[in-house]
Structure 1
Amino acid sequence: MSAPSTLGLDVDKLYAARLHAARARPYLATALFALHPVASSQVPTMAVDRYWRCYVSPAFVDRTPLEELAGVWVHEVSHLLRDHHGRGDRVARARGLTGPGERLRMNIAADCEINDDAFGDGLTMPEGAVEPASLGLNPGELMEDYLRQFGLGPRTQDLVWLDCGSGADGLDRRWDLGPDGAHSLSEQERDAVRHRVAEGINGHPGSVPGGWRRWAEQAFHPPQPWRDLLGAAIRSAAVAAGVGADHTYGRPSRRSASLPGVILPSLRRRPPTVCVIVDTSGSVSDAELGSALLEVAAIARALGGRRDLVSVLPCDAAARVVHPLCRAQEIPLIGGGGTDLRSGFARALRARPRPDVIVALTDGQTPWPSARPTSRTVVGLFPRRRASWSEEVDRVPNAPPQWARVVTVGAT
């Protein structure tokens, strides 16, 4: 099925409003330009479906000032980013909410969640936009909370026209093109858009409203705390085949009996040793260096508290002095220059005895060894985001090599 014609729709005005919205809310630009507009005389204003199509009334575009139209763009894309369609379906199932009246309440509640801090600072509030205060509600709450606090009645009678589409409450509309229609985004593409927006917000939190900051912080939770993952990765590397294994003649091998006159050494398991390479380059903040020392202590705990098995190697563009782990707080993390952890890996592998496991704590802005090190390797990666909205994607650090087990440090 193909999309309806845009005949009669003032596309220039619509796109100019979208550009205005992107300039006013640069952290939403990726999402705004991912929406595909579809002209439809069936929608009262603008509405979205869960597949990131935006249905637009040509008459609404004609009569609405460009500045207000920009606000509607931001409003509609906010429904999709905040997964109001999925959340609406889950609430409907959990609370037994059925019928168009309940879906209208969901739409109103979702609008309250968005509109309490969506406008101002370059965005004009569209005519008829509902705010929590207009229903006697407090700002800063979620759609699910608002649903418990109001019903349809005198305060909502002027909102019966409201319809932001299936993307706002999960109920399919007659104008929806469906999953097989033109210009839909796949689930993976939708997740990629949300991830890019969340990444941009987390990289510039000071200029973003509190509601969006909370959304970005909660958008993508890994299934386990990162520290547990780091400990598990180290333990897994430490018990791998060949790690912590050595031969000794102190206890001859039982196979010596089959070879008279020949004494064969036996294989002895010894506690594995770990060398922690800490990236001390100028791109790593003092807070991250402090966090690195905490991780060194956590690594020792993962090895049963054996601090004598852990050494620390500060490294920026050159490897520094290797420090035994007595007290993590007393290890000097010297550096501040460029980054080349290859020198750190080379220094660690020259140590005698050679460490069984190498852990690199870094922001990833470094060249990596071209070949797999002979020691098992775990990379604790400090999150690093773009410094500005316009920074090119190819300036974001490349992922560590496939031979490393990677854990994001600081993910909750």
Structure 2
Amino acid sequence: KVGQKTFIIVGQSTLNFPYYSIVITNYIKTGKPEIENNGNFDNSWTERAFIGLMETSDPASNIWEDKGYVVCSASDKGMTDYGRSSTGDWNAYFKINAIDPTYIITTNNEHWLIYGSWHSGIAALQLNPEDGKPLNALGKPWNITGDDNSGYGKIIAKRGSSRWQASEGPEIIYRNGYYYLFLAYGTLSVEYNTRVCRSANIDGPYVDIDGNSAMGNSELYPILTAPYKFNNSYGWVGISHCGIFDDGEDNWYYASQGRFPVNVGGNEYSNAIMMGHVRSIRWDANGWPLVMPERYGAVPQVPITEAEIAGDWEHLALTTNTGNQKTSETMTYDLSTHKITSGSWKSATWTFDEATQTITTSTGVVLYLQREVDWETTPRTHTIVYAAHGTQKTYWGKKIH
């Protein structure tokens, strides 16, 4: 707390310009702090957020100079129309929520800040490369208008017309002609899941794997991560709000929070603890990312052979029903007949492509293979996993030893 105000500091940094967010959780009308069920609700909105900027010449020193304000939450409702009829009223006062910043330099050397959470969508704001602040002047934050919302940024992704839509945590990267926008859907504790769309231009239009507009009413696909559970484990939930990075050799990685389900080991707070996860990414033939189901463990990527495909696999499908963990079934691949002899794809045939390290099934699904750690086995060992795009779902699998 600073004075009578309560602040929550969140953010995401880059090597060039580290940005951070400060959220004032006090009610606008009276300034009283928002504390759940404490009776302070005054029929006004709260959570006005600010994005700021720090600078250092040596990130390893952890000595930073604060360069101050960049942008804040902004409304199109006017200065005084911040009333809220009840805590169940989701017609938010702010149109753009100034948290979750991510930063990119485009191929033509433009600097952009992509930010936003819930409210009316994700905004793209062009920056001055000299100081990391907005390139153009900002208008009054209570009366934004136009496609660029009076300088606060163009909305590039949203979930319909709601002013309280469950998407946040944008991450932006560039690869092979496209800007990829990764988004977190849902609430933090369990249903959190990751979607992605892409565009040839930094400010859109963005579309998903099915060609659906990121500015429409449709959910975006593919689903990259969602709650799941392999056998002999508690599994994971709340897997989203990601950072995407590569090693300079087109090997890409997905980093995010992950949580245990509720009451793991009798601990009623197990779901409240956020743990860091890193997973490897493969890219399909059309340039869409697939996040591997098992966490990264630096397993040497010795080429997989056809003989290794034979046997039992755990198989599951990540779907839009993200409120519960997806559990696996056993799927058996027979080498002599090249048929799947058990599981939901029983009687389908399969072929293996050693060059691309993929399995193609007669159901039309292409499984992208990789060696990873089997975190559920005791003692831990390496195994083979796969990820594949389906129709509005993603398949994950793991070879059983």
Shorter-chain TM range is: under 0.3
TM-score by structure 1 length? 0.21
Q: Larger strand proportion, structure 1 or 2?
A: 2
Greater RCO structure (CA 8 Å; 6+ sep): 1
Q: Larger helix proportion, structure 1 or 2?
A: 1
Larger radius of gyration: 1
